[in-house]
Amino acid sequence: MKPFLFLFFLFTNFLYPVFSQSNLLESVKKNPSEAMNMCNKFREFNSKGISASSDKVIEYVSKKNKLTPVHAEIFSIYVIGLHCPDII
């Protein structure tokens, strides 16, 4: 019985990041104006020669949205893919 509970615990914790990412990505779909604000900020960084995938931009997204750096990077990629494909 203990091995089953252990595996169940591991499986449920493994799925948590998947569910949180799904909610994060849904927030982009539900708030296109916020996503466009992010696009404008990415364009501002691009005009200074800073890539949207740079550590500086990921740190900005992370702090602004209270996300981990990994989630901030996923969030950024998703925003760019949906709303501002011209961003580099």
Interval 56-70 mean pLDDT: 94
Residue 71 within a domain? yes
- Rounded to two decimals, the pTM is 0.72
Q: Look at residues 63, 60, 87, 77 and name the one whose alpha carbon lies nearest to residue 21.
A: 77
- Give the pLDDT score at 21: 55
**Does 3 map to a domain?**
no
| CB neighbourhood size of 44 (10 A) | 10
The reply to whether 38 falls in a domain is: yes
* Domain span at 42: 20-83
Q: What is the pLDDT of residue 1?
A: 52
Token look-up 């466009």 returns 36
pLDDT score at 28: 83
Q: For residue 23, what pLDDT is reported?
A: 81
Q: Tokens 């696009």 correspond to what residue?
A: 39
Domain presence at residue 28: yes
Is position 10 within any domain? no
Residue 9 lies in a domain: no
Provide the domain count of the chain: 1
